[in-house]
Amino acid sequence: MLASGMQELRRDPEWLACLTYKSVATASPRPGDIDLLVDRARARNRSLDVTGMLLFEDGCFFQTLEGPPDALTTLWSSIQRDDRHERIEVLSEHMTAARLFSDWNLLLGGRRDSIAQEAPALPPAVADHVARLVELALNADDEALNAQIASFADQGWTGDAILTVLIEPAARALGDAWLDDRCSELDLTIGISMLQLAGHAVRYSPSPRSIRDSRYRILLATAPGEQHMLGTTLLADQFLAAGWQVDLAFPESDEALTNQMTAQHPDAIDIGLSEAMPRHHALARLRGTVEHSRLIESGHPTVVSVGGRLFAEAAATALSVGADHARKGLAGTSVRLAELVRQSRKRPRGSKK
Ligand SMILES: Cc1cc2nc3c(=O)[nH]c(=O)nc-3n(C[C@H](O)[C@H](O)[C@H](O)COP(=O)(O)O)c2cc1C
């Protein structure tokens, strides 16, 4: 797993892998089947230091797992082999420096099993704040979400308090929203990623101001020579809506692209091949472009993302062109890149990608 180009992060003991997938149960579980699965899973997850949640409703599973990369890889092999489910589809996988969940829990459709019983009721004012966070996460409004979280830091809340009292309950409430059909799986995935980002900011941003001001700059570029610019244009809308500062480039050469990078010092760059055509022949050239983009000297490293039909169809990976991230689709890219930017900033300057 973790096919994206984050092998260096993998080796850093501080980093956690985070995986979200959905699958379909092969048979209707008999009474007690799910409880048994959960009891065993919880024990194993605790021993592996894996946290997260599992949702089950209408014959479908939705699971988020987070933990040390090697432990997650082992667990993931078991889960993939398990014949109690099929049509497993990975919705997101990334590295993170902060956990979203303090334990591993199950939400059952129509029966809010362990969580509802274990979690103490939130005081009304806090419940309102949680509801607001959920609303912002579902609207993918990370600017407002960060502002809201920063306001708690302003009031003197500690990072741990914000995580336990607000962010974790908000993640569960998002799970409830999915179980009750109030949001789609995609909304849930993006919402969870946003909360994860917020949790990360709370833990690692030194001040409320830096949480609030976490506005990043991205250069959205077509690969040099690429005529199709649909992906780049659609991404511009997404990043603008998510509060990023966006610059566009349709360069003819690697030099033109690096000149623009040198002038703008973006936190991230996305280099897009055609979303329509496979462009196998363009991969070697794209690798050269990515290498060129790494030569830029700047105060902070630039996260390099790539995209296009080849990556959406998994014929190529980020690793194969030396990038940090490859888009499997357009949705959620701003959230994932924000996380990678935060991670890259935490690394000491001059350390290799
Ligand atoms: C949808 C689903 C989710 C699962 N989640 C976990 C889990 O989080 N942790 C776990 O240890 N096992 C989980 N399991 C069970 C594993 O697939 C596997 O049976 C168990 O870890 C034993 O592994 P082994 O068969 O390699 O010994 C899950 C199974 C299914 C069907």
The CATH number assigned to the domain holding 64 equals: 3.30.70.100
Do 131 and 203 lie in one domain? The reply is yes
Helix (H) / strand (E) element for 126: namely helix 124-138
Decide: 257 and 272 in contact? Cβ < 8 Å: no
Indicate which CATH number applies to the domain containing 158: 1.10.1240.10
* Of 84, 117, 150, the domain-final residue: 117
* Index of the ligand 1 atom closest to the CA of residue 84: 31
Mapping DSSP to helix (H, G, I), strand (E, B) and coil, where does residue 151 land?
helix
Do 95 and 161 lie in one domain? The reply is no
Indicate which CATH number applies to the domain containing 256: 3.40.50.280
Tell me, in angstroms, the distance from the centre of ligand 1 to residue 134's CA.
Answer: 29
Please check the confidence at residue 10 and state whether its pLDDT lies above 70: no
* Index of the ligand 1 atom closest to the CA of residue 77: 26
Mutate to test the pocket of ligand 1, among 78, 80, 103, 114 (most ligand atoms within 8 A of CB): 78
282/298: higher pLDDT: 282
Closest CA to 100 of 40, 188, 163: 163
* Index of the ligand 1 atom closest to the CA of residue 104: 8
Do 178 and 273 lie in one domain? The reply is no
Position 352 in a domain: no
Average pLDDT, the chain: 81
Q: How confident is the model at residue 47, as a pLDDT?
A: 93
Confidence at 209, pLDDT banded by 50, 70, 90: low
Decide: 4 and 93 in contact? Cβ < 8 Å: yes
Mutate to test the pocket of ligand 1, among 21, 74, 75 (most ligand atoms within 8 A of CB): 75
Do 332 and 240 lie in one domain? The reply is yes
φ and ψ at 219, to 5 degrees?
-105, 115
Q: How many residues does this entry show for the chain? A: 353
Please check the confidence at residue 117 and state whether its pLDDT lies above 80: no
Do 86 and 159 lie in one domain? The reply is no
Q: How confident is the model at residue 1, as a pLDDT?
A: 44
Do 168 and 276 lie in one domain? The reply is no
Closest residue (by CA) to atom 8 of ligand 1? Answer: 41
Mean pLDDT, residues 7-20 = 63
Do 341 and 220 lie in one domain? The reply is yes
Ligand 1 shell residues, CB under 6 Å: 23, 37, 41, 44-45, 54, 61, 63, 65, 75, 78-79, 82, 84-85
How many CA atoms lie less than 13 Å away from 13 in the CB half-sphere?
Answer: 1
* Of 147, 182, 214, the domain-final residue: 214
Do 105 and 34 lie in one domain? The reply is yes
C-alpha 199/C-alpha 205 separation (Å) is: 10
Which range, 211-215, 229-233, 305-309, is most confident?
305-309
Structural domain range at position 99: 1-117
Mapping DSSP to helix (H, G, I), strand (E, B) and coil, where does residue 216 land?
coil
Look at the chain and report how many structural domains it folds into: 3
Do 171 and 206 lie in one domain? The reply is yes
pTM value?
A: 0.56
Please check the confidence at residue 99 and state whether its pLDDT lies above 80: no
Instruction: State what percent of residues in the chain have pLDDT above 70.
Output: 80
Residue with structure tokens 């029966």?
111
Closest residue (by CA) to atom 10 of ligand 1? Answer: 41
Do 231 and 203 lie in one domain? The reply is no
Q: What angle do CA 113, 115, 121 make, to 5 degrees?
A: 120
* Index of the ligand 1 atom closest to the CA of residue 85: 31
Please check the confidence at residue 220 and state whether its pLDDT lies above 60: yes
Please check the confidence at residue 225 and state whether its pLDDT lies above 80: yes
Position 153 in a domain: yes
Position 61 in a domain: yes
Do 239 and 296 lie in one domain? The reply is yes
Position 304 in a domain: yes
* Of 214, 248, 276, the domain-final residue: 214
